[in-house]
Amino acid sequence: MAKKHRFDHRDFRVREGEKIQLHKISTTKGKELGKSSNLRKALEEDIQTLQLAQERLYAAQRQSLLIILQGMDASGKDGVIRHVMTGINPQGCRVYSFKAPNSEELQHHFLWRPMRFLPDRSMISLFNRSYYEEVLVVRVHPTFLEPQRLPKYKKLSDLWEQRFREINQFEALLTQHGTSVIKFFLHVSPEEQKHRLLERLKMPEKHWKVNEGDLRERQLWPQYRQAFQEMLSATSKKHAPWYIIPADDKWYARAAIADILAAHLESLEQEFPSVTTETAERYAELAKQLEASD
């Protein structure tokens, strides 16, 4: 029997065609579980559910899962990977971080790049950032388009609309062939991002996380917010939904994401492969022989 989940996932899900206004959506946690200790306990329980569900997914070899994480710098993507995916068998999960495209990738359509990292049947792929950067950071910095040598567009808005359509078609094709697509936008406030970036600058043990480019990008927050809003509205579909996760509280965000993933994997109803009666009888005989051996 599937366990009862703690969050109403509809609170986070972007409905198809919904016009998103991020400034009207809270970045702070809800009251589902109360204090942080309850959130951590819920996370631990959902990780156990994820472990069992992923084992069935891996054994059945019929379906796969693509998880996408997007958000502003310091929104908590790395923490989600570390804490939510900690219980997943590494044989069945791969994590890919998308940075600036290299010279080879620039010679191809932007959706050529993720094709190489999609999950095999029975596998989970998690994209830390993704092909969505091509309608986000590239939109905020249009000069990044120059090395792509694209056909000329009368209006850049035409290019973003085209890419939205191509992404929707791409994800529909994936789901039709057995790959679920679940997408999370970590919604952090400018104030909380400032706090986290200051921690990195002031705490020696976090200096390794410092990227001065994050400080420059922070100045472009309004442009990024507009890009995220249009992306979320245009590409959240029933077959590949976006979930907007309040991310000012890291443990709340991790618990909510784990709960959504656990519910989804359980909904796939994957079962361990069965064997014929003859094979089962043969295994029973082999077990007796093994037990009787020295």
pLDDT tens across 167-204, in order?
999 999 999 999 999 999 999 999 999 999 999 999 99
Q: Which residues contact 222 (CB under 8 A, 6 or more apart)?
A: none
274 has a pLDDT exceeding 90: no
Are 117 and 68 contacting, i.e. CB atoms less than 8 angstroms apart? no
Bridge-based pairing state of the strands 93-97 and 242-246: unpaired
pTM over 0.95: no
pLDDT above 90 covers a percentage of the chain that reads 84
Over range 242-248, report the average pLDDT: 97
pLDDT per position as a tens digit, 44-101:
989 999 999 999 999 999 999 999 999 999 999 999 999 999 878 888 999 999 999 9
Grade residue 1 by pLDDT with cuts at 50, 70 and 90. very low
Tokens found for residue 178:
């057995």
Alpha-carbon distance of 206 to 183, in angstroms, equals: 28
As a whole number, the mean pLDDT across the chain is: 93
223 has a pLDDT exceeding 60: yes
285 has a pLDDT exceeding 90: yes
Over range 270-274, report the average pLDDT: 87
pLDDT of the residue at 279: 94
Alpha-carbon distance of 28 to 252, in angstroms, equals: 9
162 has a pLDDT exceeding 70: yes
pLDDT of the residue at 3: 54
- Spell out where 134-194 has E strands: 179-187
Alpha-carbon distance of 20 to 231, in angstroms, equals: 9
Q: Count other C-beta atoms under 10 Å from residue 126's C-beta.
A: 25
Alpha-carbon distance of 36 to 231, in angstroms, equals: 31
pLDDT of the residue at 107: 95
Phi and psi angles of residue 62, each rounded to the nearest 5 degrees, phi first: -120, -30
Over range 236-263, report the average pLDDT: 95
- Spell out where 135-229 has E strands: 179-187
